[in-house]
Amino acid sequence: MIIFENIHLRLGGQPVLRGFDWQPEAAQLSLLVGANGAGKSSALKVAAGLWRPDSGRIRILDTEGAKEGAKEHEQTAGVAYLPQAPAFHPRLRVRELLRFYARLEGQRLVEADLALERFGLESHLRHRSAALSGGLRQRLGLAVLSLTSNPVWMLDEPGLSLDPFWRRRLQEWLREVCAEGRTVLVATHLLAEWNNRADACYLCERGRIVSQLDVTQMQDELFVLEDGAATAQEEASG
């Protein structure tokens, strides 16, 4: 389980996260939605240890440890992160890249080959990453993610460059991952596609979580919220 506690972050002098508090349920698939610049990706990068927050902290609790009294980890330990539109060393081949991450995660090399198959990359294993399309690179990123044994997974816009078939496969796979006890957080704009496929959905606005949405009608609900925000803005300016 992961807990975001009152995270504040400024980038280039501008506040990006302003008291970001979030405690998604463990072993569930939670969506983080919001407009561009709302702070979704920044929150994930802070949790992944890529950016150091100005204040606040991230706590990652073992599911088992929590029963014994909440064992706290180092910030990045326990979190696996897949950035938006992942890219790779252009001269390295698909198999070399996957084997690198398998070794890094302490997995056997056969796991890398299985990940290749799981994401339909067998016919591309000798291709350099520079030769892959955006969708193939995304699938390679997912294959890399699948090699981790970390309890918390965070994906930033994972379906953006995938075709409908692989988007559906992605959602099914993430459901399986949750069923194995992992906590999965997905930052996304593709709300309608996740209807009834996520366990929870949280709306991020101006650097903090402002509400929880109904996962069965997220697109509609978000429109209502956006309309309300626009009306409030008009009233404030007018």
Partner 1 sequence: MNRVWAALSLRELSTIVASRVIWVFGVACLCFGALIALGSSGEGTTAVWLSLPLVLYALPLIGLLAGVAAVQGDAPEELLIASRISGMGRRLVVKWALWSLLLGGVALLWILPAVIRSEQWSMLPRLWGYAQAEAAVFVAWGLLIGRLIRDSVAANLIALLLGFFTLVGAGILAWLAARLPIVQAHPSLWTLSLMAHPVEALRVGLLFSIDGLPFDPGRLPGLAAWWLQRPGIWYGLLSVFWSGLALLLSSRLRATPD
Give me the least distance between CB of 76 and partner 1, in Å please. 6
Q: Is 144 in the site for partner 1 (CB under 8 A)?
A: yes
DSSP assignment of 82-149, as one string?
Answer: E-SS----TTSBHHHHHHHHHHHTT--HHHHHHHHHHTT-GGGTTSBGGGS-HHHHHHHHHHHHHT--
| Site for partner 1, residues 22 to 51, rule: CB under 8 A | 45, 48-51
Cα separation values, 155 from 63, 71, 147, 152, 218, Å: 20, 24, 14, 10, 19
Does residue 142 bind partner 1 (CB under 8 A)?
no
Least distance in angstroms from the C-beta of 116 to partner 1: 16
Is residue 57 at the binding interface for partner 1, with CB under 8 A as the rule? no
Q: Which is nearer to partner 1, 156 or 221 (CB)?
A: 156
Q: Which of residues 80-109 bind partner 1 (CB under 8 A)?
A: 80-83, 86-93, 96, 99-101, 103-106
Strand order across the beta sheet in which 183-187 lies? 79-82, 152-156, 183-187, 29-33, 200-205, 208-213
Task: Select the span of 30-38, 77-85, 207-215, 216-224 touching partner 1 (CB under 8 A).
Answer: 77-85
Task: Quote the least distance from Cβ 105 to partner 1, whole Å.
Answer: 8
Coil/strand/helix, residue 56: strand
- Chain residues that interact with partner 1, rule: CB under 8 A: 11, 45, 48-51, 76, 79-83, 86-93, 96, 99-101, 103-106, 128, 141, 144
